[in-house]
Amino acid sequence: MKFTSKTVMLDLIDMDDRAFVVTAGRGIEGLKNSIEVIGLVSPPYLVFSESKGCYRVVCGYRRLEASANLGWKEVPAKVFNSSADEKELFLFALYDNLSHRDFNPVEKAGAVERLLKFFSENEVIETYFPLLGLPAYVGAFEDLISLIELEDEIKHGIIQGTITEKNAIRLSGMETDDRLYLFRLFCMVNLSSSKQAETIESCCDIARRDNLSVRDVLKHEGIEEILKHDKLNLSQKGDRIRQLLRKKRFPRLTLCEERFLRLRKKLALPGSIELHPPPFFEGSTYRMQIEFENIEDLGRAADQVKVLAGNTSVKEMLEEK
């Protein structure tokens, strides 16, 4: 592909045209400082559009943003012939970006979306997924398609770390209002990836069981009270909301857990003895774990266990739940 070097007025560049731009969620402050000190070392690549009467950006969108932000009126640029093929221009932009940085998940999804305009699904998976650092199989392709279809608000959240890529994909199967409502809740609290996943699962289970929307599930007055609580930090709010949803999702299980913990606390067990309930409180077999280093430790533990056998809290624990 042939290009010529020339100086281009910034107001002749269409910055709204992002057909070839693969960058997403990256700021310009560092780049702006660099350009201010040493100038535009690597000129952007442009192509002139005869139909629009202006230049389109092929590579260097952020460099152009930074230059404009510095008050520049013109920039040195490399301009492709106006007859250049759209597919070749996009591939030029893609390979140029891949040569010097890793793509974030949103950039990968955007690249795949554009590649599908020029290539078949199989070609994209087999040829370009490895270049993007993606596993070359259909499941990974379907995940990328799920990201493509998400709202910009959620894509920005992935880039910022508000929600993980996997959890964003989980949201993609919901109605638009439901996923946005749940995503905005994640913006107001602090939950780890696994706790986000649990919250999504709880909301979906409750919604299916009670024939509600996820949004209706999250409008629970208890959640509103937690969010308004000014003495809780974001992590504490997130955990309380997660626990509230878990209790609503598994009412019998949480009651059994609370009862067991209350009774176990009364036993005041030493650190060397642990008492565990039946898994999910299904069944009647409890498990006791004893730690000891010598015969004396074992003897003391045995005496304590013998005392437990007559404890009323243990008897109450073993009664029908």
φ, ψ of residue 245 to 5 degrees: the values are: -65, -40
pLDDT at residue 320 in the model: 61
pLDDT beyond 90 at 220: no
* Architecture field, domain 1-101: Alpha-Beta Complex (3.90)
Question: Which amino acid would we find at residue 19?
Answer: A
The predicted model gives 183-209 an average pLDDT of 95
Residue ranges per structural domain of the chain: 1-101, 152-249, 266-318
Q: How confident is the model at residue 309 (pLDDT cuts 50, 70, 90)?
A: confident
pLDDT at residue 180 in the model: 96
Q: How confident is the model at residue 313 (pLDDT cuts 50, 70, 90)?
A: confident
DSSP for 115-166 reads: HTTTS-HHHIIIIITTTTT--SSHHHHHHHHHHHTS-HHHHHHHHHTSS-HH
The predicted model gives 92-108 an average pLDDT of 91
Looking at every residue in the chain, the average pLDDT score rounds to 91
pLDDT beyond 60 at 321: no
User: In 149-282, where does DSSP find H-type helix?
Assistant: 152-160, 165-171, 176-188, 193-210, 214-218, 221-228, 234-249, 251-267
pLDDT at residue 94 in the model: 95
* pTM greater than the 0.85 cutoff: no
Rounded to whole angstroms, the Cα distance separating 92 from 114 reads 13
pLDDT beyond 90 at 210: yes
pLDDT at residue 24 in the model: 84
CB atoms within 10 A of CB 242: 17
Q: Percentage of the chain surpassing pLDDT 90?
A: 63
CB atoms within 10 A of CB 31: 17
pLDDT beyond 90 at 300: no
Rounded to whole angstroms, the Cα distance separating 219 from 35 reads 49
Q: What is the pLDDT of residues 222-249, one digit of tens each?
A: 999 999 998 999 999 999 999 999 989 8
Rg (CA), the chain: 29
- Name beta bridge partners: 87: none
Rounded to whole angstroms, the Cα distance separating 264 from 267 reads 5
Rounded to whole angstroms, the Cα distance separating 154 from 171 reads 9
Under 8 Å between Cβ of 213 and 227: no
